[in-house]
Amino acid sequence: MTSLYIHIPFCKKKCNYCDFVSYAGKEALIDDYVDALIREFEPLLTTFNFQLSTIYFGGGTPTLLEPKHFDKIISTIICHLSFDIGHSEISIESNPGTADKTKLKALRELGINRLSIGAQSFNDKQLQIIGRIHNSKDILRFYDDARSAGFDNINLDLIFALPNQTFEEWKSDLQTAINLGPEHLSTYNLQIEEGTPLYLQLTTDNLQLTNEEEELKMYEYTIETLTTAGYKHYEISNFAKPGFECKHNLNYWKNGNYIGVGAGAHSHINGKRWSNPNCIEEYVKSHGSRVAGHRPETPDPRPETIFLGLRLLEGLSVEKFEGFEKEVEELIKDGLLMIENNHYKLTRQGLFLGNLVFEKFV
């Protein structure tokens, strides 16, 4: 199984917590960027003759691009590969307010069948603190538009432990999400990265961070509530209605092959990993598949297979842990790991302390 990740590093405005490869105010480069994307992946597709199973447009804000751009990209792919567009997962990330019903409909008609909406919160005060460009009404409208445009596989991204957020407020966010009834939910706790505006805001504004106990309570509540509402908790932070697990992300967690194209994108093919430079201008100027700066590494795949695989609630089959018997034994003794159906998997406590578990295998 091989996946294709296409990075779209454009945003109307950068959010205050964001430290990913994305830039505001560079939309003028979009046409050239799309051409560069095609220049990068077209030769890759023909050389390797992949059987592509998923495509993922990530960002940034991919929905800032026009349908014609997606048309160009998708038709190039179809032209080279026997890609079963009707039965393959094609995801796109989006931000509320960046596409109207017409655009969404056009995207759906081009074959994009899974929409991931960066909602983050339904609380306007908190949306403002973290610097989102939309309010909660925009999310609801966008969600309705997406449904009426024909998207029947929708994910909502939510963040908990936002500054000044109370437990009650998170409960209410979660309830709003459940009421909308998306097929998939991703819930992450806010992480404050050094150098982001939010990091600076913390020292100047009167922002209250959620303490660890409270975060734990929010996370536990999330698991209980979503499970009760019919979502399957299949990865540390991800929940899906049966059959709607994200196939593209599952491939990451199973340490599968993927090509990442675009500025700052990462690839993993047959044990080799490499990444593209982050700078859009540099990327746009590059030619062909070999973007300057590719320096593939070949890390030991076993630790990565383990720390990625353990993120999945089903765990990882016992034989993948060969050579780590001592670590496994210790983790089982510490109550962080357990065995079930010939798989090692995180215990409930292990879910909360994933990094403590993962570090044993690197």
Partner 1 sequence: MLSRIRNFSIIAHIDHGKSTLADRLLEYTHTVEKREMREQILDTMDLERERGITIKAQAIRMQYQDHILNLIDTPGHVDFSYEVSRSLAACEGALLLVDATQGIEAQTLANANLAKQNNLFIIPIINKIDLPAAEPERIKEELKNIFGFQPEDVLLASAKEGIGIPEILDAIIKKVPHPKGDIEKPLQALIFDSHYDSFRGVIAYIRVFNGSIKSGMKIRMMGVGEEFEVQEVGTLKLGLIPKTELSAGEVGYLIAGIREVKQCRVGDTVTDAKNPAPKPLPGYKPIKPMVFCGFYPLAGEDFENLKDAVSKLQLNDAALYYEPENSAALGFGLRCGFLGLLHLEIVQERLEREFDLNIIATAPNVVYKSNLANKKSRLIDNPSMMPPATEIESIEEPYLKLTLFTPAEYVGSVMDLAIEKRGSFIDMEYLDPKRVMLTFEIPLAEIISEFHDLLKSVTRGYASMDYEIIGYRVSDLVKMDILLNQEPVDALSTIVPRDQAHYRGKKLAEKLKEVIPRHQFQIPIQASVGAKVVARENISAIRKDVLQKCYGGDITRKRKLLEKQKAGKKRMKRIGRVDVPQEAFLAVLRLGK
Options 43, 197, 293, 354; binder of partner 1; rule CB under 8 A:
354
Q: Rule CB under 8 A: say whether 191 interacts with partner 1.
A: yes
First to last CA, the chain: 25
Q: Based on CB atoms, which residue is closest to partner 1, 88 or 237? A: 237
Task: Report yes or no: 63 and 92 within 8 Å, Cβ to Cβ.
Answer: yes
Strand ranges, E, within 107-248: 114-120, 154-160, 184-189, 232-235, 238-240
Q: Based on CB atoms, which residue is closest to partner 1, 70 or 219? A: 219
Options 39, 80, 266, 302; binder of partner 1; rule CB under 8 A:
266
Q: Rule CB under 8 A: say whether 219 interacts with partner 1.
A: yes
> CA–CA separation, 83 vs 23, rounded Å?
31
Q: Rule CB under 8 A: say whether 127 interacts with partner 1.
A: no
Residue window 280-299: x/- pattern of binding to partner 1, with contact defined by CB under 8 A:
-----------------x-x
Q: What is the helix (H) or strand (E) element at residue 105, kind and residue range?
A: helix 101-109
CA atoms within 13 A on the CB side of 223: 15
**Amino acid letter, 13:** K
* 359 Cβ contact partners less than 8 Å away, ≥ 6 residues apart: none
CA 134 from chain center: how many Å?
20
Coil, helix or strand at residue 241:
coil
Q: Based on CB atoms, which residue is closest to partner 1, 184 or 360? A: 360
Options 76, 166, 237, 347; binder of partner 1; rule CB under 8 A:
237
Q: Rule CB under 8 A: say whether 182 interacts with partner 1.
A: no
Q: Based on CB atoms, which residue is closest to partner 1, 149 or 316? A: 316
Q: Rule CB under 8 A: say whether 327 interacts with partner 1.
A: no
C-alpha dihedral (180, 185, 186, 188), degrees to nearest 10: 60
Neighbours of 317 (CB within 10 A): 12
Q: Minimum distance from CB of 103 to partner 1 (Å)?
A: 23
Q: Rule CB under 8 A: say whether 265 interacts with partner 1.
A: yes
Q: Rule CB under 8 A: say whether 227 interacts with partner 1.
A: no
Rg over alpha carbons for the chain, rounded to the nearest Å, is: 21
Residues numbered 75 to 94 that lie near partner 1 (CB under 8 A) are: none
Burial class (CB in 10 A: 0-12, 13-18, 19+), 1: middle
Q: Rule CB under 8 A: say whether 359 interacts with partner 1.
A: yes
Options 71, 303, 313, 332; binder of partner 1; rule CB under 8 A:
303
Q: Based on CB atoms, which residue is closest to partner 1, 339 or 356? A: 356
Spell out a b/e string for 31-54, using b for 16 or more CB atoms within 10 Å of the CB, else e.
eebbebbebbbbebbeeeebebbb
> CA–CA separation, 261 vs 259, rounded Å?
6
Q: Based on CB atoms, which residue is closest to partner 1, 115 or 246? A: 246
Q: Minimum distance from CB of 278 to partner 1 (Å)?
A: 11
Q: Minimum distance from CB of 56 to partner 1 (Å)?
A: 9
Q: Minimum distance from CB of 149 to partner 1 (Å)?
A: 25
Which window, 103-111, 168-176, 282-290, 300-308, contacts partner 1 (CB under 8 A)? 300-308
> CA–CA separation, 61 vs 96, rounded Å?
10
Q: Minimum distance from CB of 69 to partner 1 (Å)?
A: 19
Q: What does the binding site for partner 1 look like in residue numbers (CB under 8 A)? A: 5, 7, 20-21, 58, 186, 188-189, 191, 212-213, 215-216, 219, 236-237, 252, 255, 258, 260, 264-268, 273, 275, 297, 299, 303-304, 307-308, 334, 336, 349, 352-356, 358-360, 362
